[in-house]
Amino acid sequence: MLFSMFLRSFFIQAGWNYERFQNLGFAFSLQPALEKIYPDKEKYKAALLRHLQIFNTQPYMAAFVLGNIIRMEERAAAGGEADIKTLPGVKQALASSFASIGDRIFWGRLKPMTVQICLLVWAACGFYGWLFTGMNDELPLGLLLAGPLSGIAVYSVFSVYIRWKGLKDGYACGGANNCALDAANWPRLIRLLTAAGFAMSLAIVALAFALLAGFNCVACTKGDLLLKLGLPVAVLALHRVLRALGRSVFFTAGLLLALSILLFSALKLGPFKLYL
Amino acid sequence: MIVVLRTFISAGLAGLLGLDAVQAGQFLFSRPAFVGTVLGWLNGCPLEGARLGILLELLYIDFIPVGGVVPPNGTAAAAVGVLAHSAGGLAPSLSFFIGIAAGVAYAPLESQVRASRSRLNALIEAQVSSGDFRLRRWLARALLIENAVMGAYVLTLAGLAALLGRLPGLAWLYPGTDFAFSLMPWLGLSGLYFRFRTQIYKKG
């Protein structure tokens, strides 16, 4: 029963809509268990309709709520009327709490870390084509795919584990409105991921500047080199300032594009390359 | 002919990979870094595809899909960017910026698709109330529509890019777009750096 729910939980967001968010995916995930718990058709129908109501949380963390709710439904089927009454409140409380935790872990940290892993894998394989155009022309596809796939693998192993753990832990403590919130030391995990992400960011930025200097230092004059290193710093500073002013990264990209077209296409300044 | 066929297959594949973003799985196969590399390989330009993909990815990590927010779509951005280069014959630099615009423009369309699904709730409730408990077909329908919308969108924009590629004098833009494109890794790295730096200094 739990395994079937686990497989269906990969579709928790299918049918996502603005009126009731993940309701359809949630009901779909619960279906095999509800069918087993309520052999009576009318009771099964009532349970299914109950779970077609509004529901929204972070998709991976939804497993914790699914496990909890199915345990509550089992108790309700065994005559626990109180569980039916408290079910919507518990569901809502857990959905909000786990959404907050999941957003920080998955969207805020692990997802950007997949990009870092990709860049570091490419760097380890000697591929810097993402930084400098026209380099590494002959590269095997396997190496190109190794970057994004490494990030995806790390992310997916963790997210699939959390989905399964969520179902099991939620089912084990079902009924309590703080159920499974202590399934892991979430604040510690968030701090660890933040530290790891920041360390990788620093490593990648340092590597990028080192490569830029390395590719230019042989044939550039000191002034040229400073200009070529100063330009990326200026981009970083511009992004920081515009970000502080509430502008998105696309605004900065658009601004840089407009300025570049003005200078190099309209005013026809001599071509300038960051690298040789 | 082969280019047209590849473009059709790429648009379909983009629609399929795009499902991973919200509808099914969430394994990150819909991220630009992967989509760009795969479509680049499919269209004979794996290196440009990987580069476009990772640069789009670096910019797109600035957006977090919290709650009901529909962020700019990275799959559409990478697919249109790669096809603008491979099928449209545009320079990678211009294709990249077309990709960004395509991803941003897809967000309102995605909102519309999501909004249109709200009316299904009443239909599904009526069906369940009548004793028909098959939810699977509604999910399949949602997946199919999402796939078709993304595929059609990518195909349309790839076609427009191919038309744009036929405009005379387009090469005039390239010195500007090339220079801006060479700055994009640094803009992306800035986003990556500040994402974690902000979290390090955030209390709580």
> Which chain A residues are Cβ-neighbours of B104 within 8 angstroms?
250
Both tokens of A187, joined, read 């604040």
* Helical ranges in chain B per DSSP H: 2-18, 32-42, 46-60, 74-86, 92-116, 120-129, 136-165, 174-201
Other C-beta atoms within 10 Å of A123: how many? 18
With both helix axes pointing from N to C terminus, report the angle between B174-201 and A186-217 in degrees, rounded to the nearest 10.
140
Question: For A108, which DSSP code?
Answer: I
Handedness of CA B51, B44, B21, A188 (dihedral sign): negative
Query: Mean pLDDT for chain A?
Result: 92
- Phi, psi at residue A246, to the nearest 5°? 85, 15
Other beta carbons within 10 angstroms of residue B180's beta carbon come to: 25
The predicted pLDDT at position B203 comes to 55
Q: What is the pLDDT, as a whole number, of residue A17?
A: 94
Minimal C-alpha gap between B159 and chain A (Å): 23
Reported confidence tier of residue A139, pLDDT bands at 50, 70, 90: confident
Burial class of residue A92 (count of CB atoms within 10 Å of its CB; 0-12, 13-18, 19+): middle
Q: Which of A103-112, A203-212, B103-112, B191-200 has the lowest mean pLDDT?
A: B191-200
Residue A161 sits at the chain B interface (C-beta within 8 Å): no
Spell A49-58 as b/e; 16+ CB within 10 A means b.
ebbbeebbbb
Q: How far apart are CA A83 and CA A124, in angstroms?
A: 55
For A140-165, what is the mean pLDDT? 96
Amino acid (1-letter code) at residue B9: I
Mean pLDDT is lowest, of A132-141, A175-184, B184-193, for A132-141
Q: Which residue has the tokens 């960004």?
A: B100
Q: A246: left (phi > 0), else alpha (psi -120 to 50), else beta?
A: left
- pLDDT in the model for residue A276: 59
pLDDT of res. A221? 82
Domain tally, chain B: 1
Average the pLDDT over A129-143 and give the result: 79
Whether the per-residue pLDDT at A235 is higher than 90: the answer is yes
Q: Tell me the chain A residues in contact with residue B18 when contact means C-beta distances shorter than 8 Å.
A: none
Pick the residue from chain A with its C-alpha nearest to B49.
Answer: A144
Show the DSSP H helices in chain A as ranges.
2-8, 23-37, 41-50, 62-77, 81-102, 111-124, 141-172, 186-217, 222-244, 249-260
What's the average pLDDT block by block, 10 residues per block, for chain B (204 residues)?
92 97 94 97 94 96 79 97 96 96 96 94 96 95 96 97 92 94 95 89 63
Domain residue limits at B192: 2-201
pLDDT band at residue A1, thresholds of 50, 70 and 90? Answer: confident
How confident is the model at residue A136, as a pLDDT? Answer: 64
φ/ψ of residue B56, rounded to 5: -65, -40
**pLDDT value of residue B119:** 94
| Count of Cβ atoms closer than 10 Å to residue A244 Cβ | 9
Task: Please tell me the predicted confidence (pLDDT) of residue B68.
Answer: 73
Probe site for chain B from A198, A200, A272, A275 (most B CB atoms < 10 A): A198
Which of B27, B92, B176 shows the shortest C-beta gap to A264?
B176
Continuous segment of H or E residues that includes residue A162: helix A141-172
Q: A223: how many CB neighbours lie within 10 A of its CB?
A: 8
Q: Is B142 part of the contact surface with chain A (CB cutoff 8 Å)?
A: yes
Instruction: Using CB atoms, pick whichever of A35, A41, A235 lies closest to residue B187.
Output: A235
Mean pLDDT of all residues in A32-46: 95
Question: Residue A116 pLDDT more than 60?
Answer: yes
Q: Which of B154, B146, B137 is nearest to B98 (CA)?
A: B154
pLDDT of residue A20 exceeding 70: yes
CB contact under 8 A, A250 and B104: yes
Nearest to A250 by CA among B35, B100, B54, B181: B100
pLDDT of residue A206: 96
User: For A235, which of B23, B183, B200 is closest by C-beta distance?
Assistant: B183
Residue predicted with more confidence, A223 or A108: A108
Interface mutation vs chain A, best among B60, B199, B203, most A CBs within 10 Å? B199
